[in-house]
Structure 1
């Protein structure tokens, strides 16, 4: 099975899946860059430090990393700016990163979605700072405004095709442990040619679009797994019904969704243009099928490879965001 994240960012997911005797690979398709207007972020952090907001609402770990990096590069980190403001976090992973950055978290809704936060935060009339990705949907801002809050949304970071430019890449968190082997798009097409029908964990809506754009050569049959409802909606927007949607962005929930998805019919990606970034010809002799894992569960395809293709590099990046249903 394939996780659409860099190996260093997929260690916890891979550990959970390997515990179910699955062969796990990582395919990074997106990365995080600094926002287009860093000054707007600095202005928001300055106002935050002055106590001008009732709430700071943080919806992803990428946001934590971006705000803290921008703040430290110019004045002080996120903890110094958020000291006197109530902080709400969407998801336990986001809350942990905030606490690791020295920020006390006041609200973590049990339902780690925009709807869950709206129910938890209730009505109000004061100012809220809402830093989000450039690709984040507008539902949370609109929902908070509908509850009476005065919301200032700023672009905290940009999601770009992998790899990001080194000078603009946002530093992140590298997960401890053994990372899964790294694939590139042409490897996935090669596996499909050999008859492998992998489960693919889509970790954000942006990975859905990148997957289609980079793997349009097909034909590719796969079992799509969504990390959350926002990503599931993006899959359906492409005409791909998720085989399963994780009940939460946790390794155990993702493992359960993957095993469920293997019991469904795969989605087929039609043939199209050559694989993006690949110098391999679009057609040619089919590779030999990779070896079968010795302990794969009966619900999983038995043709999943046990080692990374030789064309895939194995080096890890210097940064990595946490698990989340992020843009």
Structure 2
């Protein structure tokens, strides 16, 4: 989706005159807004589709959550929280604590469940694990509603801390259909008309090559998080920069830094990583 005319680049902004492809599309996207405020011309294109999953196991986890059976419920995304959002107020009243990997998920929970989050990480599973408490003797288990494609970083890390963990698939992510890809955006990408592309999830990194092809050498790729960067590299995508945190401001800084370097500087950096 191309940006509206009223979101014209700002003349003196750090990304003024730059054309950026954001590989997701959502209403009032904070990343897209930050890029436009930084002067960029942004095209948003959803490379993936997320689908809620239903199962007897998820139903049973919802019932146990509503009964206060868990010490904690831990979320790595708003889509995971959506799967059990109706249970959160009652679970909270029964002593279940809530943790979120990042601020965006914490805000979504507050807005949609009307309850606050007890523990918020710095945007990654690894960061949340660094501040997660160890269990008391006889503690109730931890529930993790999650993507069917999620790695075991979070449940594995919590088990290493001594928690009993129940990880339940709540949604899955698949590549968008080829016929749903905007032909103009795809053509501009393949022709090298984007200065940069932003990948915010590993699923986007996997979907990019089959849907659009590998980025041309003149298109810098910036990722959010080490897992997305690693997945991108595994797909043959050269990563010019990884945002220091999963915030719109950090993404703007990463893009600004990456675009300030000569294109040939990116390849040696990748080989050393």
> Could you say whether these structures have the same fold, taking a TM-score greater than 0.5 normalized by the shorter chain as the test?
yes
Name the counterpart of 2:166: 152
Work out the CA distance in 2 between the residues paired with 1:114 and 1:30. Answer: 21
Q: Deviations over 1:207-260 (max 9, x none)?
A: 001101112387674211102222112112223332111122221111111112
Name the counterpart of 1:51: 68
- Please say if 1:112 is aligned against 2:123: yes
Name the counterpart of 1:223: 220
Whether the 8 Å contact between 2:49 and 2:176 is mirrored in structure 1 is yes
Using the TM superposition, give the Cα deviation of residue 156 of structure 1 relative to its aligned residue in structure 2, in angstroms: 1.2
Change (3 A) 1:79 1:220: farther
Name the counterpart of 2:35: 17
- Please say if 1:78 is aligned against 2:88: yes
Deviating 4+ runs (over 6 angstroms):
none
Name the counterpart of 2:4: none
Give 3-state SS (helix, strand or coil) of 1:208's partner. helix
Give 3-state SS (helix, strand or coil) of 2:84's partner. helix
Work out the CA distance in 2 between the residues paired with 1:200 and 1:47. Answer: 42
Gap runs ≥5 in structure 1: 69-75, 164-182, 269-327
Work out the CA distance in 1 between the residues paired with 2:92 and 2:174. Answer: 28
Name the counterpart of 1:141: 155
- Please say if 1:198 is aligned against 2:195: yes
Whether the 8 Å contact between 1:34 and 1:156 is mirrored in structure 2 is yes
Whether the 8 Å contact between 1:224 and 1:267 is mirrored in structure 2 is no
Work out the CA distance in 1 between the residues paired with 2:214 and 2:255. Answer: 24
Work out the CA distance in 2 between the residues paired with 1:56 and 1:217. Answer: 38
Name the counterpart of 1:208: 205
Which residue, out of 109, 116, 119, partners 1:98?
109
Whether the 8 Å contact between 1:223 and 1:243 is mirrored in structure 2 is yes
Q: Deviations over 1:168-193 (max 9, x none)?
A: xxxxxxxxxxxxxxx93532342246
User: TM-score, normalising length from structure 1?
Assistant: 0.67
Whether the 8 Å contact between 1:132 and 1:154 is mirrored in structure 2 is yes
Change (3 A) 1:14 1:128: same
User: TM-score, normalising length from structure 2?
Assistant: 0.79
RMSD, aligned CA: 2.5
Which residue, out of 45, 50, 67, partners 1:32?
50
Gap runs ≥5 in structure 2: 1-19, 267-273
Whether the 8 Å contact between 1:192 and 1:221 is mirrored in structure 2 is no
Of structures 1 and 2, the one scoring higher in RCO (CA 8 A, sep 6+) is 1
Change (3 A) 1:188 1:267: farther
Work out the CA distance in 2 between the residues paired with 1:247 and 1:217. Answer: 24
Q: Deviations over 1:261-299 (max 9, x none)?
A: 21342799xxxxxxxxxxxxxxxxxxxxxxxxxxxxxxx
Change (3 A) 1:147 1:190: same
